[in-house]
Structure 1
């Protein structure tokens, strides 16, 4: 199964994509619980280190289990897409120990002291803290712009030649704001920027940023790709194969944010059911969002699948479905939000998202607690905002749980 058929359907790709026949003919690629690999002789070791012969060297550099996950996700992001020559698009992926490790490799492999990032309000809290608190110490700055104002984006880039990277997150965490990948990538390409997108909320099944000439895409594989909340991970996928297998891979290895065989095995197992789970996640979310939108105690629902969402048309144009994440504001703010969350029975109060069960969290006091309050409020992350990751339970059971918590 070294050369998968490019005509494979999505379900088949989720199950079989990236798998190679294992040396002992195991049905599923097993967990390689070894820190290092043996060479037949010294000459072979030299050839493998110099890239003249394929082979495994050291656990931090990868393993058969890790590489299967990398290949499968790269195939999912590239499915149905063509490169500039009209050939099937080929991507290269590097699996990390966490989503933040993938973000770190992405940023440090592409930016140096004096460079800046242009991005938008409402990013994942960890990414925002990295940009606010870590990168300035390395001499890397940032510019925040309303990415829905194309002229403002152009003006900001033209006014500051230090801007080197455009970093996008759509739908954004936790406000579910969406930005236009096609328009923004065109601007970034015109301005000669490195263009990156966090595709965690959408997954490759609902949105393919590489269709718009993106340079890099990242995921927290902890979320929907694993799908069961059993392992932390992150992945960085790139279009430039030479750079990915050269400089970027070198940064990945030297920074030490590598994954491991056990977490990669759990990720591969989760990916096999990804398309089935996402359909259920998305259909449930549409039903639940409709319930919240008509409830008198709910002041606002942030869900791109609703026509009332300010970026509904953007999401409809670039997403296959609208995902399972939403956030709500209750009349009564913080106190009402806390009371609601404490009364839930089926839904689980926990950070993270993308698991089979429905998770609710309070971003202002958890995932975004490290973001300065003025920045948080400016991004729409109020003290009363509740983020909900809709699971694959029966939708009517979820609605009954929400209904009694609101009563």
Structure 2
């Protein structure tokens, strides 16, 4: 097997080999360790493991080889060659979903009385968690246009109870982008925690730790898995002492851990992340250009287009604008329904990041729980269609969309 100390020169090699340890029985691929608990050679060994004197597995909710390999691979990708050309130490815990990852982040870093500063257009689940559940624990959210540094600083000055700046860039589903480096520097001046949802971008396109972010979360269900075969999330941090202490305790006690089967699927999906994202991104740019010239489309939200207000930010902090876009049809909701009903190849469903092209209507699906006035304020109108551009032949994607718009 490859020498684990070998410094990988490319992201593709890292995605294939990082995190892997040779199986004791010499299996080529990572085995599925489908066991709830682990045994000991002697009673004293169990005592040493429970006391922390000896490292080793105890119970799969606390740690499992398959789950740990998946988390280690993502941590390696997020920290790839960031510190003077050397990997940045990052620790992660694999979760049962992206929402479990966000919950673990909040529960390990926030307390009653703290506030979260975030921005317009977040994933609907994140928005609902902040608006409807966290207030029960005495934690509330302040929403501001964080694309404007002056507004971000004004919010920090106005409320010292803000403990965390939580960003999602590109944001779901309007593809708004914030300047990670500028917000991180601002937050650090005020002593705040900076956390970033990097699901849309993946660590191949964007590495928030590069700009000093404290924590990164992913819904691994999406591009990291890449095939829609499992649900998962990951919670990552660069303060190793904190991650192995408080964060691990929260991870262990909340019970939001992943499972060996989903971790196995995730590991194998991530091995092709680089080549998949290259194809996704190429197709997305072509689809965005097609929409921009179509008479039925009022607006295209894609950060690779000169018409997008955040194009410069994206170009600075992302390898490529990505595989996600959204459109506003001139005919509004009814036009969107008609378009989606006429699709022959592209898939009508929620979620994103699979090999096939997925389309959904956020106002009635992913963001249904967000009040209409908030949705419209954030740019999530009734006529907005979100598209996760897949890996089909680009000619077939455009042909299907074109006939659906007739």
Q: 2:139 — aligned with what?
A: 140
How has the CA–CA distance of structure 1 residues 110 and 2 changed in structure 2, closer, same or farther, with 3 Å as cutoff? farther
Contact 2:175–2:324 (Cα < 8 Å) also in 1: yes
Gaps of at least 5 residues in structure 2 are none
Counterpart position of 2:362: 363
Do 1:301 and 1:326's aligned partners in 2 also have CA atoms closer than 8 Å? Answer: yes
Alignment match, 1:7 = 8
- Which residue does the alignment assign to 2:51? 50
Q: Which is worse superposed, 45-54 or 224-233?
A: 45-54
C-alpha distance in 2 between matches for 1:295 and 1:272 = 37
User: Are the equivalent residues in 1 in contact too, given 2:223–2:354 (CA < 8 A)?
Assistant: yes
Q: Which residue of 2 aligns with 1:125?
A: 124
- Structure 1 runs of 4+ aligned residues shifted over 6 Å read none
What secondary structure sits across from 1:232 in the alignment? coil
Partner of 1:241: 240
Tell me the equivalent position of 2:18. Answer: 17
Q: Provide the TM-score with structure 2 as the length reference.
A: 0.98
Paired residue for 1:198? 197
> Where in structure 1 are there 5+ consecutive unaligned residues?
none
Are residue 337 (structure 1) and residue 336 (structure 2) matched? yes
Q: Which residue of 1 aligns with 2:349?
A: 350
Alpha-carbon distance, 1:5 to partner = 2.2
Q: Answer yes or no: is the 8 Å Cα contact 1:207–1:320 preserved in 2.
A: yes
Asked if structure 1 preserves the Cα contact closer than 8 Å seen for 2:8 and 2:14, the reply is: no
The DSSP-based 3-state class of the residue aligned with 2:116 is: strand
CA distance in 1, matches of 2:197, 2:253: 23
Following TM superposition, by how much is the alpha carbon of 1:7 offset from its aligned partner in structure 2, in angstroms?
3.3
Q: d(CA) in 1 for partners of 2:60 and 2:342? A: 45
Contact 1:6/1:79 (CA < 8 Å) preserved in 2?
no
TM-score relative to the length of structure 1: 0.98
Find the counterpart in structure 2 of residue 174 from structure 1: 173
C-alpha deviation, 1:302, in angstroms: 0.2
Cα distance between partner residues in 2 of 1:296 and 1:365: 25
CA 405–4 in structure 1, closer or farther in 2 if over 3 Å, else same: farther
Please list, as runs of the form range in 1=range in 2, the aligned pairs for 1:218-237 lying within 5 A after superposition.
Answer: 218-237=217-236
**CA deviation vs aligned residue, 1:52-96 (integer Å, no higher than 9, x gap):** 22211101012111111011100000111117xx85311001000
Give, in angstroms, the shift of residue 349 of structure 1.
Answer: 0.4
1:61 aligns with 2:62: yes
In the TM superposition, residue 164 of structure 1 has moved relative to its aligned partner by 0.2
1:236-385 equivalent positions in 2, closer than 5 A = 236-385=235-384
1:221-255 CA-to-partner distances (Å, cap 9, x unmatched) read 00000000000000011010011011001101111
Q: Which residue is equivalent to 2:31?
A: 30
User: Contact 2:76–2:87 at 8 Å: present in 1 too?
Assistant: no
